[in-house]
């Protein structure tokens, strides 16, 4: 079971907007490079705790912030890539 | 009076409609702050500097959106100046077909792209008269056709400071299903503008005039009603998004923001907006203080300067811009003497607005323009009126 999820966006501006919104709401978040297994995009996404994913999704919808999808953060794949 | 070099005061800057000076210290600090501490290319990488740059740009987007009462900062598109923004809207919407209506008070930043599209063929342009500076609204409505795609309205004249009523014009556009683009180069930061409640589809703004940001900043604000799919980008390239695709993304703001933004300038723009909003009364307060300075200048000038003529009644000047002439003198000579002998910086001629000068009866000679900003004072105006009085007398006796 993964402890983290990532929110993917079309626009990098949306990821910044999300990070700011979550900061205001006091939700733990971190901007991280988009995991290569999830998207070929070279920008960044917002990593959150998986347990917050439901609440975050609601906040984004309420706030009118466009996002692509929320995926589980597969850290193991990142490590494998690095090897 | 003496040469400014021997005066114990700074030269006087009355050319704020061209670009405002001086810029607030916070603006300078924000520009330097980006270059010395933030760095990074927004939206391009996942490291700290890139993220901070992205946050700085986004907070500027929020500041611009809030200033124009736009709820969604994603609908702010940064461009390199108001002309760039107007070109994107005009060329992007019309492309190579359809009809556009505009006014006889336009700046060349709108009339030239429109006339260029007309000259290339496919686009037709109607210029509606503005007797006394105000748009003839009935003639505007008559000018609209089934093929009319776009109306371009100069919100306030850079040469005369006369404001157009966007609500009347916008209601007509809405009824006729025509996109209304307002050229707010002179009014952003000078007159309150509300894109949410006023019937305007697109605002083009300058960042370095009334918003007190650095040159090289400006943009568009798109209302929620405007479908941005109707506007084709003029530039294509890197956006930091959809990097796996060779095609331009279609979403805002990326679709219109190819290439690295002027991040240093945008940081300064944000500081400029925050600065003007921190002044007493915000934008409305600035507007009222400029109107006071305008009335103060015009009352003294009419009283003291022989042959002083201003084509606009004082009560119609909304943005602190005064066009005037001194009978029997070339405007360029008056501006030259002001600058050379008295250290007063103004602008003479047609102010890139030949149509507006035709409307006001001052074409082709033009006028002298004094344009006030947030730092100008009554003392400076007193000095300028004395200077103009001397200039007019000196010239006549020569």
Please write the tens of the pLDDT for every residue from B282-295. 999 999 999 999 99
Mean pLDDT of all residues in B122-132:
96
φ, ψ of residue B99 to 5 degrees: the values are -120, 140
Could you tell me the CA-to-CA distances from A10 to B65, B288, B295, B338 in Å, in that order?
21, 43, 52, 54
Report whether pLDDT(A80) > 70.
no
Report whether pLDDT(B68) > 90.
yes
Contacts of A44 in chain B (CB under 8 A): 45-46, 50-51
How close, in Å, is residue A44 to chain B by CA atoms?
5
pLDDT at B206: 98
Q: Which one, of B216, B154, B215, B164, lies nearest residue B186 by Cα?
A: B154
Q: Which residues of B touch A (CB under 8 A)?
A: 42-46, 50-51, 54-55, 57-59, 61, 71-74, 239-244, 249, 251-254
d(CA B71, CA B223): 9
Give B155-211 pLDDT, tens digit per residue.
999 999 999 999 999 999 999 999 999 999 999 999 999 999 999 999 999 999 999
Q: Which one, of B65, B93, B95, B67, lies nearest residue B77 by Cα?
A: B65
Residue positions of B annotated with a catalytic role:
352
Q: Which helix (H) or strand (E) is A5 found in, with range?
A: strand A4-8
pLDDT at A34: 85
- Non-local (6+) Cβ contacts of B177 within 8 A are none
Greater model confidence, A69 or B243: A69
pLDDT at A2: 56
Report whether pLDDT(B50) > 60.
yes
Mutate to test the interface with A, among B54, B73, B263 (most CBs of A within 10 A): B54
Q: How many other CB atoms sit within 10 Å of the CB of residue A72?
A: 14
What is the band of B92 on the pLDDT scale with cuts at 50, 70, 90? Answer: very high
Report whether pLDDT(B269) > 70.
yes
d(CA B250, CA B79): 17
φ, ψ of residue B145 to 5 degrees: the values are -125, 170
Give A8-56 pLDDT, tens digit per residue.
998 889 999 999 899 999 999 998 888 888 887 777 899 999 999 999 9
% of chain B surpassing 70 pLDDT:
96
Mutate to test the interface with B, among A10, A11, A17, A46 (most CBs of B within 10 A): A11
Cβ contact A66–B243 (<8 Å): no
What is the band of A79 on the pLDDT scale with cuts at 50, 70, 90? Answer: low
Nearest CA in chain B to A42: B243
Cβ contact A40–B72 (<8 Å): no
pLDDT at B258: 96
Cβ contact B51–A16 (<8 Å): yes
Report whether pLDDT(A78) > 70.
no
Q: Which residues of A touch B (CB under 8 A)?
A: 9-17, 19-20, 31-34, 39-44, 64, 66
* Long-range contacts (CB closer than 8 Å, 24 or more residues apart) made by A21-26: A21/A59, A21/A60, A21/A63, A21/A65, A22/A46, A22/A48, A22/A56, A22/A59, A25/A59
Identify the three-state secondary structure at position B211. Answer: coil
Contacts of B51 in chain A (CB under 8 A): 16, 19, 31, 44
Mean pLDDT of all residues in B273-281:
98
Report whether pLDDT(A75) > 70.
no
d(CA B300, CA B385): 7
Report whether pLDDT(B5) > 70.
no
Identify the three-state secondary structure at position B37. Answer: helix
How close, in Å, is residue A1 to chain B by CA atoms?
25
What is the band of B344 on the pLDDT scale with cuts at 50, 70, 90? Answer: very high
Contacts of B241 in chain A (CB under 8 A): 9-12, 41, 43
d(CA B201, CA B226): 6
Report whether pLDDT(B8) > 70.
no
Q: Is this prediction's pTM over 0.90?
A: yes
Cβ contact A12–B240 (<8 Å): yes
Cβ contact A43–B243 (<8 Å): yes
Q: Mean pLDDT lowest for which of B6-15, B348-357, B386-395?
A: B6-15
pLDDT at B124: 98
DSSP string covering B219-284, please? EEEE-TTS-GGGS--S-----SSSTT-SS---STTGGG--S---HHHHHHHHHHHHHHHHSTTHHH
pLDDT at B242: 82
Cβ contact B243–A32 (<8 Å): no
Parallel, antiparallel or unpaired: strands A29-33 and A44-49: antiparallel
Cβ contact A43–B58 (<8 Å): no
pLDDT at A32: 86
Q: Over chain B, what is the mean pLDDT?
A: 94
pLDDT at B268: 98
Cβ contact B54–A13 (<8 Å): yes
pLDDT at B48: 85
């Amino acid at each position: 079971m993964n402890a983290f999820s990532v929110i993917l966006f079309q626009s990098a501006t949306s990821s910044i907007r999300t990070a700011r919104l979550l900061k205001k709401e006091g939700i733990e978040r971190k901007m991280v490079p988009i995991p290569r297994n999830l998207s070929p995009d070279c920008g960044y996404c917002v990593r959150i705790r998986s347990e917050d994913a439901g609440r975050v999704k609601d906040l984004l919808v309420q706030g009118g912030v466009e996002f692509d999808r929320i995926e589980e953060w597969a850290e193991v794949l990142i490590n494998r890539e690095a090897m | 009076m003496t040469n400014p070099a021997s005066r114990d005061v700074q030269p006087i800057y009355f050319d704020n409609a061209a670009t405002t000076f001086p810029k607030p210290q916070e603006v300078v600090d924000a520009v330097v702050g980006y270059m010395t501490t933030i760095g990074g290319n927004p939206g391009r990488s996942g490291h700290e500097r890139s993220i901070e740059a992205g946050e700085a740009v986004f907070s500027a987007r929020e500041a611009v959106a809030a200033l124009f009462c736009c709820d969604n900062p994603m609908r702010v598109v940064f461009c390199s100046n108001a002309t760039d923004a107007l070109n994107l809207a005009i060329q992007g919407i019309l492309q190579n077909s359809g009809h556009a209506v505009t006014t006889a008070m336009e700046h060349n930043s709108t009339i030239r792209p429109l006339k260029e599209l007309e000259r290339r063929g496919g686009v037709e342009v109607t210029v509606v008269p503005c007797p006394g500076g105000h748009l003839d609204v009935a003639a505007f409505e008559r000018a609209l056709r089934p093929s009319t795609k776009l109306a371009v309205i100069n919100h306030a004249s850079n040469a005369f400071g006369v404001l157009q009523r966007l609500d009347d014009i916008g209601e007509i556009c809405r009824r006729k299903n025509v996109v209304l683009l307002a050229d707010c180069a002179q009014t952003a930061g000078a007159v309150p503008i509300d894109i949410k409640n006023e019937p305007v589809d697109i605002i083009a703004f300058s960042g370095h005039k009334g918003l007190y940001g650095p040159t090289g900043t400006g943009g568009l604000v798109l209302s929620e009603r405007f479908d941005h799919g109707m506007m084709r980008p003029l530039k294509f390239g890197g956006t930091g998004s959809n990097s796996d695709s060779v095609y331009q993304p279609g979403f805002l703001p990326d679709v219109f923001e190819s290439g690295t933004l002027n991040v240093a300038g945008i940081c300064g723009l944000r500081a400029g907006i925050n600065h003007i909003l921190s002044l007493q009364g915000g934008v409305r307060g600035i507007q009222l203080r400029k109107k006071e300075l305008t009335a103060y200048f015009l009352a003294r000038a009419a009283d003291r300067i022989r042959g002083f003529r201003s084509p606009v009644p004082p009560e119609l000047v909304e943005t602190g811009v005064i066009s005037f002439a001194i009978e029997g003198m070339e405007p360029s000579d008056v501006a030259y003497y002001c600058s050379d002998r008295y250290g007063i910086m103004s602008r003479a001629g047609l102010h890139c607005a030949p149509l507006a000068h035709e409307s006001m009866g001052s074409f082709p000679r033009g006028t002298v323009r004094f344009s006030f900003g947030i730092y100008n004072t009554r003392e400076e105006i007193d000095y300028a009126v004395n200077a103009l009085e001397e200039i007019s007398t000196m010239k006549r006796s020569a």
